[in-house]
Amino acid sequence: MSLKPSVLLSCILLSTTINQTLLADPYAKSGNIKPSIVTLSAEEEANILKQVKVPEGFELTLFAPWQSANYPVYVAASPGGDLYVSSDGCGSLGRDKDRGRVLRLRDTDDDGRADEVTEFIPSIDSPRGLLWDEDRLYVLHPPHLSVYYDRDGDGVSEENRRLVDNIAFDFNERPADHTTNGLDLGVDGWIYISTGDFGFMEATGSDGRKLQVRGGGVVRVRPDGSGIELFSYGTRNILAVPTSPLLDLFGRDNTNDGGGWNVRFHHFSGLDDHGYPRLYLNFPDEIIAPLADYGGGSGCGGMYLHEPGFPDEWNHAPMTCDWGTAGLWHHTVERTGAGFKETKAPRRFIQVPRPTDADVDGMSRVYQASWKGPSSFNWAGPEHGYVVQTRPKGYDPEELPEFSKLTDQELIDLFEGESQVRALAAQRVLLRRKYSSETTGLLREFLADSSKETRSRVLALYTLSQRGISSKESSQVIDHLRPFAEDATLAPFVMRALGDMGLDLRTAGKPGTAPADLLAAGANSSDPRTRLEAIVAATRQGLMEVAPSIAKSLGHSDATLAHVAYRGLAQLGAHESALAIFQNANSSTPQIRGASLALMRIHKKEVIDAMLENLKDKKNKLFRPSFEILARLHHQEKAWDRKHWGGRPDTRGPYYEMVTWEQSDRILKALRNALWKLPKDEVGEYLALLGSNRIQDNETLNSLIESAKYDSSLIPVLSAQLSGLNDPPANGLDVLAAVPAKEKMRGSDLTNIVKCLLNGKNPQYLGSIIDSIVAIEAMGNWTALRPAKDLYLKNNARIDAYQAELAEIAKGEPKARTTFWAYAGLMEITGRSNANAEAKASSKDLIDADWADPARRVILINAAVDLKNRNYDEQIIQATTDKDNAVRAAAARALRHFKIDPNEVDATPKVSTLSVEEALAMVNSTKGVAAHGEAIFTKAACNSCHTVSEDEPQKGPYLGNIAAIYPRNELAEAILNPGKSIAQGFATYLVILNDGQAVMGFVTSETTDQLIMRDMASQEHQIAKAEIKERTKMTNSMMPAGLMHNFSIKEFASLLDYVVGLSRKD
């Protein structure tokens, strides 16, 4: 194996790095400290709590410092306030032994501070979500879900049982990042599992039911491990699903590092697809839109609050943690039809650094976990994290009953209490008791009383319905439920319950026992939620006879209902019902679109036959939708081969990994024939449909190229087609380069031509590229100019290859805009740390020489401003005293633009003269100038590996919203000590190729067949996955530790303020 010099140097540096902390830590390689109760002084507790704030009217105490519960990932409170904590020193990136355990903390004197701690589970890998249920704790510990019993109440589990196997990948394949995460229990008895987008291959429940999920979403399972199923799909990395008493599910998602998927707030309805990674970018009308997009941040755990003692402004709402924005956030939501809307911006209930999870007990006490400590996603010594408690001041909760000693009637009476925690606990106890006809009567009587609160009646309904999960008992339960399907308040919940009937039959591949007539009636209800729940239930039950009723909601004005309707028909494979709507002459455009979305997902010959019939006549109103359906059906998703996608998966869609199938050749032939029936002005639209569905047909493309030679009206179509190709054909580029009268074209079409010609990687096209940009500029079309300029300059990885041609064009008339753009290209080369040395030197020499000409000096100053190139600050300052009036004026404008004060004196020391600790202390107390920080960003070559805008091709870690994830002081530490903590998505990889060559760097993009990396020298490498022999994630950062050594503290502070300011713009 041969290593390139930059890789060899990196390996030497990484292998010789010594972490002094590890040498001093006896648990450096494995294990964790024994938890203990310590008594802190008031001053010590106040010092920990100084960064924690709660609203006025709430008490705050330190429930457990790190000595009692370090590395708290998830928490679960019993009704009485015993707190179970997933303590995991491996975090999301470690794989060391014996780091994880589950602790039980108890506060016996109710002073808000734990005074007992036991190791409930002394050693367990990757403990994540927890749920306490009477005498047992459900624990999600990737790759498994288990239940641990503590029947004697001593705080130590004496027995456990595996419920679901392989619901995540184990340490042999990956650490526990983007894995299965939190657990939330609904009143319907389902355990809802937050699932990260790395998914799992084959989870197996206790009943033998199997499930594969490639991607993120919500999975659910019964408490006995049966019935595992996918509930919602298409999220990135949710860590909790706060669940309301009425089974409204919510979640805060994570950002994908600059790829257009920010922190999103979701509502989960069942059958819904939120679009990550396949659909959200290019097919937004096919997904459920988020309730909100919060920009930067990092979503973590959460809870639903419905407890007495809390003011209305905080109560009855989902709450979610966000690591980046340092808090537990209250969400104000309101039901609108089948879905929800967020009516107010979130408010922070608890401000706390690095929150991981929260829960509430039955005594109205909220517990909040914090990962406060060294900036790390792995073990960094034992002193890490704490748990705080907050509760309403002056609130005295009712005494907690001993649930197991209550009668059935007394348990049912608790359904009406204000505390949802107590009500749910009562339900769980009641469900474990043997069936009683008397209790069934009490529940039916309770249900029939419309004067009772809906929340309480729903609890009673699901207490009754859960007896019918087994097909042996479901018939009787359905008889009990049937009358309540007529109750408008309870109808949606009856529909949802019917979906659970006879789950054992569904596991066996048979239809469930729910009556089709009830579900069909529900699907025809005037109430959108009832319709939605009926559609979800009928789909889950496999009842094809309900499909015609489901189809009536296609294209519904309620977006959530319309979405779930097409998803339900697609999952059922109900092509006949979808076709009935699609081909009905009276169907509206939204209905046809809804039917189309369903048919696009049903790979059956009958669908193909129907669509081909519609393509026979161009005048048929179904011609276009049929063409689009066939374009989608040309491919199907490939069976997952266990290979993982990374933090930046392919987002082109509509499939992640495509394969053709038995009807593909027939489809392609029909699409070709249909194209040539079209008028010229419509060809582009249809070719775009082929492109968006990633159908590359050389025969069609070559015909288009030949036609475009003689018909300029086809140039926009051709440019749109070629712009989607990484390696466009030369004959097509020649046609685009020779386009006359560019000033008469649309700006967007010229931008496509720029993109195409740059993809051609041939200097002979440079003149046409610049002519296109000049034409856009002359139109005043700034919307088209920015992407064209970015393609030509900052996003052009090969601009140094054009140096000779740029130099030639720069010889033109100084006032010509082509000359300006040539100088802009040369200046871009001089500002790149990774540019070809000869090209860089030649460009600098030419600029230095031309600087002597006043007319060209003006152009160069203006180009520096346009490019935000700060490498010429000194020359610009000198030009303020130039003899030439035009030069002086240009220099003065530049100083104002860059906010340069030529008289400013920076007296702060160089970073290299200080220790890391001294530099951190000084920079954290120094205010910089963000405008100057932008210059430092360029001078320090940060832009070689990082981008700050989502419309730039991604390189290394995206910094546009980084300050919403890491506060300023942690960013400073990460720059000075980059190897200390490396977050998921920021890792360095070493790739060994089949020929022995090696590449080390960031993964900037990844598809199923290609890896794009950027190395230490900022060079981009496009690597076919078939050429990769070995791929290893490095434990250290590629970013050099001495990046700031040559800069002053003021300059360092300016850089930090610039980066922090980027997030504030979001």
CA triple 983-239-124, angle to 5 deg: 80
pLDDT score, position 580: 98
At 62, which helix (H) or strand (E)? Answer: strand 58-64
Contact 373, 333 (CB under 8 A): no
Band of residue 394 on the pLDDT scale cut at 50, 70, 90: very high
Tell me the C-alpha distance between 620 and 626, whole Å. 10
Q: Say yes or no to pLDDT of 1020 above 90.
A: no
Cα–Cα distance measured from residue 71 to residue 384, given in angstroms and rounded to the nearest whole number? 6
> What are the backbone angles phi and psi of residue 740, rounded to the nearest 5°?
-85, 170
Binning pLDDT at 50, 70 and 90, where does residue 956 land?
low
Q: How far is CA 399 from CA 206, 418, 502, in A?
A: 38, 13, 39
Expressed in percent and rounded to 5, the helix, strand and coil fractions of the chain are 40, 20, 40
Please give the single-letter amino acid code of residue 988.
T
DSSP of 496-543: HHHTTTTHHHHHTTS--SS-HHHHHHHHT-SSHHHHHHHHHHHHHHT-
Phi first, then psi, for residue 655 (nearest 5°) are: -115, 160
Residues 6 or more apart from 172 whose CB is under 8 A from it? none
pLDDT at 3 over 50: no
Of 339-353, 721-735, 779-793, 953-967, the least confident? 953-967
Burial grade of 290 (CB within 10 A; 0-12, 13-18, 19 or more): buried
Widest CA span in the chain:
102
Q: Which residue has the higher pLDDT, 141 or 13?
A: 141
Residue 221, pLDDT score: 98
CATH architecture of 31-392: 6 Propeller (2.120)
Name the class of domain 401-542: mainly alpha
Give the model's pLDDT for residue 1016. Answer: 64
Q: What is the pLDDT of residues 34-91, one digit of tens each?
A: 999 999 999 999 999 999 999 999 999 999 999 999 999 999 999 999 999 999 999 8
In this prediction, residues 414-441 reach a mean pLDDT of 97
Q: What is the pLDDT of residues 107-150, one digit of tens each?
A: 999 999 999 999 999 999 999 999 999 999 999 999 999 999 99
Sheet with strand 72-77: strands edge to edge: 72-77, 83-88, 100-106, 116-121
Mean pLDDT calculated for residue range 372-387: 88
What is the C-alpha separation between 634 and 628, in angstroms, rounded? 10
* DSSP code string of 872-937: GHHHHHHHTT-SSHHHHHHHHHHHHHHT--TT----SPBGGGS-HHHHHHHHHT----HHHHHHHH
Residue 674 pLDDT > 90: yes
The DSSP result for 150-219, as a single string, is -TT-SSS--EEEEEEE-SS--TTT--SSSSEEEEEE-TTSPEEEEE-TT-EEEEEETTS-EEEESSEEEE
How does DSSP classify residue 284? G
Task: Give the rounded percent of residues in the chain with a pLDDT score beyond 70.
Answer: 95
CB 468 within 8 A of CB 500: yes
Task: Please check whether residue 757 is in contact with residue 736, taking contact to mean a CB–CB distance below 8 angstroms.
Answer: yes
Give per-residue pLDDT as tens, 931-948. 778 878 877 777 777 777
pLDDT band at residue 1000, thresholds of 50, 70 and 90?
confident
Is residue 297's pLDDT more than 80? Answer: yes
- The residue extents of the domains of the chain are 31-392, 401-542, 546-602, 793-904
Sequence-ordered list of residues with C-beta below 8 angstroms from that of 65, at least 6 positions apart, any chain = 38, 40, 48, 386
